[in-house]
Amino acid sequence: MRFVLVALFAFQLAGCASWRTDKDAPNTAASIAETPWGKASLPQAQGKPWQHLPLPGKRTTRFDAVQVDGRAAMAVTADASASMVRKQLHVPAAELGKLSFSWKVPALIPGADMAVRDADDAPVRLVLAFEGDRSRFSAKNAMLSELARALTGEEMPYATLMYVWCNTRPPGTVVLNPRTDRIRKIVVESGPGSLGVWRDYQRDVRADFIRAFGEEPGALVAVGIMTDSDNTGGHARAWYGPLNLHQTMAAAP
């Protein structure tokens, strides 16, 4: 039982690059790529498919490509569940530019608090995983990365940055994951004031990474969307608009 708990702990820590892929999920994976949402999202990913990533021991969140208010959207429904849809890519740090995204949230999750281990749920998360120098990991993070690789075949990302909607903290707040400091969240929306309407954002990925981690980013290697309510045991629903990363041209040497 102790090993099982440690394994689940590692999977939860591993970010978007260490969860197994559920290739048979009927409402995700390859089917998403053929929808307007999937085709419009991140053309820089060179045709790599979206993948559904369940968590061991967790109920899976439902993802459905839909049209909402005239927009291509991904409808996401979580019932005491947690899973993600991700796309792998490789954008060198020198080419990181603006990231455009949008979402619509009808209600917050009562009792959710992303700084508290047993309440770490969010109605929307946009997740970015980055490469980096793993020799800089603390002993704890190095152990977790090795365990993740042993269990999944993929190491924990060097750094995972999330854009989130928080119940209470003001926009701009950086929230450390309660399990590892290699996952950090930037609050871009807070409280109930903008519920029920589309919210559109454009973020400077490099500047946000530096703000959250205090260092330059490595290459961006995956992006994902995640709505989770497993810790609070509640219900959450949201719609995500297509993502678009505006790459910059690397300067000539």
Query: What pLDDT digit, counting tens, does each position of 11-45 carry?
Result: 444 444 444 455 444 455 557 777 889 888 887 76
What CA–CA distance (Å, rounded) separates 181 from 225?
A: 20
Q: How confident is the model at residue 202 (pLDDT cuts 50, 70, 90)?
A: very high
- Paired strand residues for 175: 185
| pLDDT in the model for residue 155 | 75
**pTM attached to this predicted model:** 0.87
Does the domain formed by 2-246 have CATH 2.60.40? no
Q: Say if residues 127 and 225 touch (Cβ distance below 8 Å).
A: yes
Q: How confident is the model at residue 105 (pLDDT cuts 50, 70, 90)?
A: very high
54 CB contacts (<8 Å, ≥6 apart)?
Answer: 19, 20, 22, 25, 60, 83
pLDDT above 50 for 8: no
pLDDT above 90 for 211: yes
| pLDDT in the model for residue 181 | 87
| CA 30 and chain centroid, separation | 19
pLDDT above 50 for 145: yes
What CA–CA distance (Å, rounded) separates 115 from 121?
A: 10
What CA–CA distance (Å, rounded) separates 141 from 156?
A: 9
Strand, coil or helix: 207:
helix
Q: What residues does each domain of the chain span? A: 2-246
